Amino acid sequence: MRMEKFFINGATLEVELADNFFGRLRGLMFRRRLPEGCGLLLAPCNSVHMLFMRFAIDVIYLDENFRIKKIVRDLTPWLGMSVCFGAWGALELPCGAAKRLKLAVGQRFTRNVNL
């Protein structure tokens, strides 16, 4: 998968891009963890499920301009499900990252596409 750097509130995230069918289908399933400072962007995507997941995550729904539309914290493994109608993408982060990064609806990520 391709990697990009995302920036917000003075923090830098290493983000994997799942921008094809198989990348989105696999997502974070079967992984043991998502390291701090890392994320997975599913795009296009407006919903996520937690089947076959081993750990909780925060999900940040984005529009096409990387502006935050919705934040879902502590989505439970195996049981969790979430949707944001009108979202362009879903950024999956380690559980608690949204709080640590002080994310809020309306904020916008910037990114470095030259990696």
Model pLDDT for residues 29-80, shown as the tens digit of each residue:
878 889 999 999 999 999 999 999 999 999 999 999 999 999 999 999 998 9
Q: Let me know if residue 38 belongs to a domain.
A: yes
Q: Token match 């076959």: residue?
A: 52
Residue 11 within any structural domain of the chain: yes
Q: What is the CA radius of gyration of the chain?
A: 13
Number of folded domains in the chain? 1
86-109 pLDDT per residue, tens: 999 999 999 999 999 999 999 999
Beta strands 57-62 and 68-75, pairing class = antiparallel
Residue matched to tokens 């963890």: 33
Residue 100: domain span: 2-106
> Does any domain span residue 30?
yes
Mean pLDDT of 5-11: 95
Looking at residue 59, its pLDDT comes to: 98
